[in-house]
Structure 1
C-alpha cells in the first residue's frame, strides 16, 4: 500500500510536467506529416467507417438491441480506441525512455501517465463525434444518465493508471511481454463487446458471464449505458466490485514491482 501512495504522490506532484511533455510528444509525433495532428482523429474515423461497413451493413452481425448500429458502435468504440492506444504506448514508455530520464530528476512512474494525458485530446474529439452521431443518426437525447459519464471516465483513467504501471514494469523485466500484450489487446478487441453485443441469446450464458469480467468491457458498456439511458452503474454491483478489484490488484502489484526494480531499470534495459 505504501508503494501505491508514493505512486499517486509522484503523479500529482508532476502534473504540470506530464501535460507539457504530452503536448510536446503529440506535436513531435506528427510534425513531419502534412496533416499533422489531424491523423490522431482521422485514423480512428477511418477504422470506424470500415467496421460500420463490414459489421453494420455487410455482415449485419452487430446486434445492438434495436438501437442504430452506427451510433451504438461509435459510443463503445471511442473509449476502446483510447484505452487500446494508451495501453500499447504506456507498456513501452519506460523501456523507450528510461535511459534519458535516468539522467534527469524525473520520476519514471510518470512516463506511463504521460501517455494517458497525451491521448486525451483525441478521446474528447472522438467523444464529441460519438455524441453527434448519437443525436443525428441514433436519435439519442440527453438524459440524467449522462451524468455517470463522469464516473466511467474516472473508472477508465484509474484502470489505465493501474494497468499501465503494471505493463510498463513487466515490459522491462520480460522483453517478450510487449509482443504478448499486443496479441492480447487484439483478442480483447473482439471480446469486449466493441463491435457486437454478446449479451444476447445467441451466446451461451456461461460464456457471457466470463466475457463480462473483462475490465475493458465494463468501461465500454458503461459509456453505452450512460448515453443510451439504459441503467446506472450501481445496478451492476457484482461487475462493479470485480472491476475495482482488478484495478486494485494491478495497482498494488504494479506499484510494488515498479519500486522494487526501478533502481535497476537502466541495467535491465
Structure 2
C-alpha cells in the first residue's frame, strides 16, 4: 500500500514521462508522429504478403486476411515493445536514477503507459480499415474491448517491471528478450488462426500462453464481430496479476542498488 500511495503522489511525473516519450519517440524524423501509424501499416503489408499470399493455405484461405492479421498485430506490437524496449527503460534513464530520488517504478510504468497510448492511437487506423472495407462492428462486442485492453496492460506492465529490474544487473537480457519476443510471436496466433494450425487436443496447452486468449479476444471482437467469452481471459488475467505482483516485489528488492549498478 505504501508503494501505491507513493506512486500516486508522483502521478504527475508519470504523466510527464509519458508525454515526453510520446513526443520524443520520432523526434527529428521527417514524418515525425506519423510513424505511429506508418510503422504498423508497413508491418501489416509485409506480413500480409508473406503469410497472406506466399504461405497461405489454398484449401482453407482466411477471408480478409489483412483484417484478421491487423486486429492482432497492433496489440502484439504493444506487448512486444513493452517487453523488449521496456526491459531497458531503467538503464535508459540512468542519469535520472543517479541524480534525484523518486519511486523507480515510475519509469517502467510510464514507458508501458506510453506504449499503451500509442496502441490506442493505432486502433484509430484499425477502426478506419474496418469502416472503409465495410467489415462493420458489433457495438455490444466493442464494450468488452476496454476489459481486454486492461488485461493486456496489466500483463505487459508486470513483465516490464520484472525485466527492467533484472536488466540493470544482467544487461544481456535486453538482447535475449528480442529473440524471445520473436519466438513468442510465432507461438501466439497473430499471423495465423489457432483453430487452423493447432490440433484441438493441444488447445488447452496452447492457451497457457497468456497472450493467446488476449489476441483471440481482440480478434473475436473486431474480426468475427462477436462478444467474446470473457472467461477465456481469466487465466490471462490471473497470470497478468501474478506477474505484476512478482514484478513489483522483484523490482522493490533490486532497486536498492540501481544507482551503484548503473
Q: What TM-score do you get using the length of structure 2 for normalisation?
A: 0.89
8 Å CA contact retained: 1:76, 1:224: yes
8 Å CA contact retained: 1:62, 1:195: no
Q: Report how far residue 256 of structure 1 moved.
A: 1.5
Q: 1:62 to 1:149 in 2, by over 3 A?
A: farther
- Aligned residue for 1:119, secondary structure, equals helix
What corresponds to 1:266 in structure 2?
259
Output the CA distance in 2 between the equivalents of 1:268 and 1:162: 22
Output the CA distance in 2 between the equivalents of 1:248 and 1:133: 33
1:86-125 to 2 correspondence within 5 Å?
A: 86-125=82-121
What corresponds to 1:229 in structure 2?
225
Residues 215-236 of structure 1, C-alpha deviations (whole Å, 9 max, x = no match):
22222111112223334333xx
Q: Point out 4+ residue stretches in structure 1 off by more than 6 angstroms.
A: 62-65
Output the CA distance in 1 between the equivalents of 2:63 and 2:121: 23
1:143-162 to 2 correspondence within 5 Å?
A: 143-162=139-158
Q: Report how far residue 71 of structure 1 moved.
A: 1.2
Q: Report how far residue 28 of structure 1 moved.
A: 2.7
What corresponds to 1:219 in structure 2?
214
1:1-269 to 2 correspondence within 5 Å?
A: 5-61=1-57, 67-137=63-133, 139-200=135-196, 202-227=197-222, 228-234=224-230, 237=231, 239-269=232-262
Output the CA distance in 2 between the equivalents of 1:62 and 1:133: 25
Q: Report how far residue 195 of structure 1 moved.
A: 0.5
- Aligned residue for 1:102, secondary structure, equals helix
Residues 242-261 of structure 1, C-alpha deviations (whole Å, 9 max, x = no match):
21231232122211111112
8 Å CA contact retained: 1:193, 1:220: yes
8 Å CA contact retained: 2:88, 2:167: yes
Q: Report how far residue 207 of structure 1 moved.
A: 3.7
Output the CA distance in 2 between the equivalents of 1:135 and 1:242: 32
- Aligned residue for 1:127, secondary structure, equals helix
Stretches of structure 1 lacking an aligned partner (at least 5 in a row): none
Stretches of structure 2 lacking an aligned partner (at least 5 in a row): none
Q: Report how far residue 144 of structure 1 moved.
A: 0.7
Q: Report how far residue 154 of structure 1 moved.
A: 1.1
Q: Report how far residue 60 of structure 1 moved.
A: 1.6
The size of the alignment, in residue pairs, is 261
Q: 1:265 to 1:9 in 2, by over 3 A?
A: same
Output the CA distance in 2 between the equivalents of 1:209 and 1:9: 39
Q: Report how far residue 171 of structure 1 moved.
A: 1.2
Q: What TM-score do you get using the length of structure 1 for normalisation?
A: 0.87
Q: Report how far residue 121 of structure 1 moved.
A: 4.0
Output the CA distance in 2 between the equivalents of 1:23 and 1:111: 13
Q: 1:199 to 1:257 in 2, by over 3 A?
A: same
8 Å CA contact retained: 1:172, 1:265: yes
